[in-house]
Structure 1
Amino acid sequence: MSTVSAVINVDVKGPTISRHLYGHFAEHLGRCIYGGFYVGEDSDLPNAGGIRLDVVEALRALNIPNLRWPGGCFADEYHWMDGIGPKERRPVMVNTHWGNVEENNHFGTHEFMALCELLGAEPYISGNVGSGTVKEMSDWVEYLTRDGDSPMVRLRKANGRERPWKVPFWGLGNEAWGCGGNMTAQQYAAEARRFGTYCRDHGGNKLYRVAAGANSGDYAWTETLMKQLGELGCAYRPAAFMQAVSFHYYTIPGTWQDKGDATAFGTDDHYRTMVQAARVDELITGHANVMDCYDPGRNVGLVLDEWGTWWNVEPGTNPGFLYQQNTLRDALVASLHFDIFHRHADRLVMANIAQTVNVLQAMILTDPESKALVLTPTYHVFEMNKGHQDAASLRVDLLSGLPSREVGSDTLTTVSLSASRKDDTVLVSLSNLDADEAADVELDLRGGRAGEVGSRILTAGSLRTHNTPETPAAVAPRTHEQVTRTEAGLRVHLPAHSFVTVEARLA
């Protein structure tokens, strides 16, 4: 068993960890919207205007900060005017990206905004750049956010909403390098300039425009966008047509054709998965380094608005619906990501897991037969970590090496940790990625002394353990007793394949 020693200066606060790093993503894909968030007003499940209320309750417990919608690839074939007005008059469309199914547009703009209000989450809308027009997106911004009188305001009021909404976050398209138009970086940069220019601030609603960024490690794409915003150098004053640049990265240990099984995997598969998950640190660093060359003052945000594991779909399900189970392994991917996000809080301003319900690395799975709601292991990582939202990051300085394993040609560090402080409370998150070996972590808390301490652990007998309607709490947090106060701070025992949070009130 390894012992890790680290120092946390609890009186030296770092950059604030934005709550928006704990953001979510809901696309018109599979059963994320229909059968997930939205069950219709005629459902026998408790609902508000068709929105499933137990899903809302579960997400509110996470302090969900934002929700990205309607895509994803779907965004660039979605025309928002088809999703307003009386439901019986809304035209049917074909969702060509995801299963080639018919979409009745019953969940549209008003329904999404009602969902965000129920959740207490800020809306993040991805506009249609791929097949839409500048006017279409400009009108959508006006429809949602303008007060007074205008054609779009009158239309909104005719559809039952008198007051405008606050909608801060707007995506200028999605994956323009692929499903969002198969553009080159130069082509997209020109489109982003146009669309961003005509997405206006109305009244007190100030837009935060997110340019559709790179696929994984395409740093040249990021550089092309940064060049559009201003001249290289310390006098960089970003142009106002976009405030952030995004990128996407999925953890896929296999090939695109055979990504691996969500539940039937071995120890070697687990370690390969963790190596791929850890690569997000390299990618954030790479994009941030490019941005720093042009924007040393860090005025432009970096957004990872799609991340998570991507496995082969569950047998017997529609391959276009991307439904997969969610095990303890997925939870460790999430906990490792958050440690990395916290370390990059000075540049990374938002992240959105893909996706919230029934798709990819979901928070929640809903069973279409029993109608049961299942909280996944990943959900519990979000809940256990919610104290980091809008807290000051704390640097973790290692006094010893971290345990590691050789995984092919890669070296995987198997213990990960991060910390933050909010008022007089310090929250430390610790992950042991090792499938078999436990570890102890000794924390020297300098600048403060731990008073009351509470700790929880998320683990199970196997990395493959997951929750189902029959066993909804197979992977669930419980009190962790193996935390002791020491003269210097805390000693935390990390069993194999576990995630632990320790909350200490400073005395």
Structure 2
Amino acid sequence: MTSTARAVIDLDVTGDRISRHLYGHFAEHLGRCIYDGFWVGEDSPIPNVRGIRLDIVEALRALDIPNLRWPGGCFADTYHWRDGIGPRQRRPKIANTNWGDVVENNHFGTHEFMDLCDLLGADAYVNGNVGSGTVQEMSEWVEYLTRADDSPMARLRRQNGRDEPWRVPFWGLGNEAWGCGGNMSASFYAEEARRYATFCHEHGGNSLTRIAAGANEDDLEWTRTLMKSLTECHGCTMGGNLPYQAISFHYYTHSGSGINSEAATAFTTAQYYETVAYAAGIERIVRGHVAVMDSYDPQNRVGLVCDEWGTWWNAAEGTNPGFLFQQNTVRDALVAGLHFDVFHRHARRLTMANIAQTVNVLQAMVLTDGENLVLTPTYHVFEMNKGHQDAAGLPVHVLETPTTTVRGDDLDLVSISASTRDDTALVSLTHLSVDAPCTVRVDLRGRAASVVRARVLTGDAASSFNDVDAPERVAPRPLEASLEADGVLVVELPPHSFATVELALG
């Protein structure tokens, strides 16, 4: 039986700008994300540019990828950047004790990462080592990357083949300090974050957004401690700048049994609904952190960053469990659609988000198998939604939506967000019902509109996925969207689907 959803969008009332950095990505030295992912080496028969795999670059450029976080993750707090510079054959091998306990050769380091960012047209988000590193080590890495004159680190960079400094807008002050980043208390880490941030200097014209390692999910006390640390720091605002300009949090989606505890492609209907309900729960998480930050920072000077999000399932059978390689289904794509709707609604405070991870790990954009590359369902959500980047959010009022009950709570089965730019608008719709279609009627008010293009992403089942044998099993298809005389947009959404409608505004 077809259900009905109704909403109103005010096309003439614009809200907060949806930062393009909410569509950021994450590449850790984990499994086959870097090695045998981004990096194949200059001698590889796979087409590459200076060792960087070309088809991955082209796929990500099509998403207008805004930023890339590296080298971790947990790996960041064991990584010493000097091991990854200079002639590759002279770089020391290191043990990756976090992920698979493998030995890697350090062929992908600072210069290779910055080269990758240049090829992608993406901003660099470098995550520094607080857990096992030193203040001086981090300070010198910033200098190495961004200073232009004849300072010691700028000289070292030139010796390694790079004359001009790079632009590095984002800098992470460690990662998950409450866990793999040092098992610190919030109060201890807050002091460390202020200290490390103080010595991450802005060289020349490079402006740094220093991001303090924040909470796990709904640990609001961690966020409160970091915000309180800023207000109690005498002298922190000398020169008009805070020690750190943003605070992160992490949120991984599963069906309620915990990360890395269930299969990626074989799940029950109950597990499906529990998963999308858990994904929708990020709304509560974001609201909580925003409320805490607003109480200390009503001027909105400190940004909120969700620099790890996505689904986390069991590693695919027959693969190294420490490499976190998982398939990516329609269910994962709908998780992404839900997240973006929440991110858009909280764009005032939420300034960046990074999906975990970009290639071959967790909720990846692309999967590789030798010379073959597969675009995942989640990739297509990013592509279909890229028109929201740096657009102005539009208020969406959902008047009616079908619901279901998951673990005693109501779950709305239709989620909508919208934005506008330059006499255009983009409407995104996520439909969660596993088996029933839905007629969605959206009253477009305030400006005349016409439909330019409508697309839908779905599969035969919520467990459908793409692989080498069927790379387009789940891919965007044309969607019928009509505009009635009274300005009501009507779309018929199939079960478990994500859709976008592009509008021209008069």
Same fold (TM over 0.5): yes
> Structure 2: which amino acid aligns with 1:245?
I
**In 2, Cα distance between the equivalents of 1:482 and 1:295?**
43
The one-letter amino acid of 2:158's match is: K
Residue 37, structure 1, aligned to residue 38, structure 2: yes
Match in the other structure for 1:336: 338
Q: Is the 8 A contact 2:330 2:459 kept in 1?
A: yes
The match for 1:307 is 309
Asked if the contact 1:196/1:241 (under 8 Å) is kept, the reply is yes
Query: Which deviates further from its counterpart, 155-164 or 492-501?
Result: 492-501
Q: CA deviation at 1:184?
A: 0.2
Partner residue, 2:278: 276
Deviations 1:147-194 (A, max 9, x none): 111110100000000000000100000000000000000110111011
On the 8 A contact 1:67/1:116 being kept in 2, the answer is: yes
Whether contact under 8 Å (2:74, 2:181) holds in the other structure is: yes
User: Secondary structure of the residue that 1:217 maps to in structure 2?
Assistant: coil
1:103 Cα deviation from its structure 2 partner: 1.3
- The question of whether the paired residues in 1 share the 8 Å contact of 2:260 and 2:315 is answered with no
Q: CA deviation at 1:411?
A: 1.6
After superposition, what is the alpha-carbon deviation per residue over 1:184-239, rounded to whole angstroms, capped at 9, x for unaligned?
Answer: 0011011101100000000000110000000111000000000111159xxx9985
CA distance in 2, matches of 1:506, 1:472: 35
1:489 Cα deviation after fit: 3.1
SS in 2 for 1:17: coil
- Matching of residues 75-474 of structure 1 within 5 Å: 75-230=76-231, 240-256=242-258, 259-368=261-370, 371-398=371-398, 400-474=399-473
Contact 2:212 2:244 in 1 (8 A): yes
- Hey, what's the Cα distance between the residues in 1 that align with 2:361 and 2:477? 26
Between the aligned partners of 1:350 and 1:502, the Cα distance in structure 2 is: 24
State the Cα deviation string for residues 352-390 of structure 1 (Å, max 9, x = none).
Answer: 00000000000000013xx20000000000000000000
Conserved? CA contact 1:483–1:493, under 8 Å? no
Distance 1:357 1:258 in 2: 18
Q: Which segment is superposed worse, 195-204 or 258-267?
A: 258-267
- Asked if the contact 2:391/2:420 (under 8 Å) is kept, the reply is yes
Counterparts in 2 of 1:90 and 1:417: CA distance versus 1, 3 Å: same
Rounded Cα–Cα distance in structure 2 between residues aligned with 1:430 and 1:443: 11
Residues 477-486 or 16-25, more deviating: 477-486
% same residue: 64
Q: Given the two structures, how large is their TM-score scaled by the length of structure 1?
A: 0.97
d(CA) in 2 for partners of 1:472, 1:426: 30
- Residue 444 of structure 1: CA displacement? 1.4
CA contact (8 A) 1:230 1:239 kept: no
**TM-score relative to the length of structure 2:** 0.97
Does the 8 Å CA contact 2:450/2:483 hold for their aligned counterparts?
no
Return closer, same or farther for 1:431/1:94 CA change in 2, 3 Å cut-off. Answer: same
Shift of 1:442: 1.3
Cα 1:366–1:258, aligned 2, differ >3 Å: closer, same or farther?
closer
Deviations along 1:268-309, one digit per CA (max 9) or x if unpaired, are 111000111011000000000000000011110000000000
Partner letter of residue 394 of structure 2? L
Deviation readout 1:3-24 (Å, 9 max, x if unpaired): 2222111111100000000000
**Alpha-carbon displacement from aligned partner over 1:313-362 (angstroms, at most 9, x marks no partner):** 10111010000000000000000100111000111000000000000000
Note the residue ranges of structure 2 that are not aligned, 5 or more in a row: none
Match in the other structure for 1:65 = 66
For residues 235-273 of structure 1, what are the alpha-carbon distances to aligned partners after superposition, in whole Å with 9 as ceiling and x for unaligned? x99852100000000002143476211001121111000
Q: Secondary structure at the match of 1:5?
A: strand
Aligned equivalents of 1:287, 1:451: Cα separation in 2: 38
CA-based RMSD of the aligned residues comes to 1.3
Distance 2:467 2:117 in 1: 27
Q: Could you tell me whether the CA contact under 8 Å between 2:375 and 2:471 is conserved in 1?
A: yes
How many Å separate the matches in 1 of 2:496 and 2:483? 20
Q: Is the 8 A contact 1:23 1:350 kept in 2?
A: yes
The residue number in structure 2 matching 1:27 is 28
Q: Could you tell me how far apart the structure 1 residues matched to 2:477 and 2:444 are?
A: 24
SS of the aligned residue for 2:108 comes to coil
Moved more, 254-263 or 413-422: 254-263
Match of 1:498 in 2: 497
| Counterpart amino acid of residue 312 in structure 2 | W
Q: Which moved more, 1:236-245 or 1:378-387?
A: 236-245
Answer whether contact 2:8 2:443 (CA < 8 A) is retained.
Answer: yes
C-alpha displacement at 1:2, in angstroms?
2.4
SS of residue in 2 equivalent to 1:468: coil
1:6 aligns with 7
Once the 2 structures are TM-superposed, how far is the Cα of residue 494 of structure 1 from its aligned partner? 1.2
Q: How far apart are the structure 2 equivalents of 1:257 and 1:325?
A: 15
CA apart distance, 1:492: 1.4
Pairwise CA distance, 1:482: 4.2
**Aligned positions, number:** 501
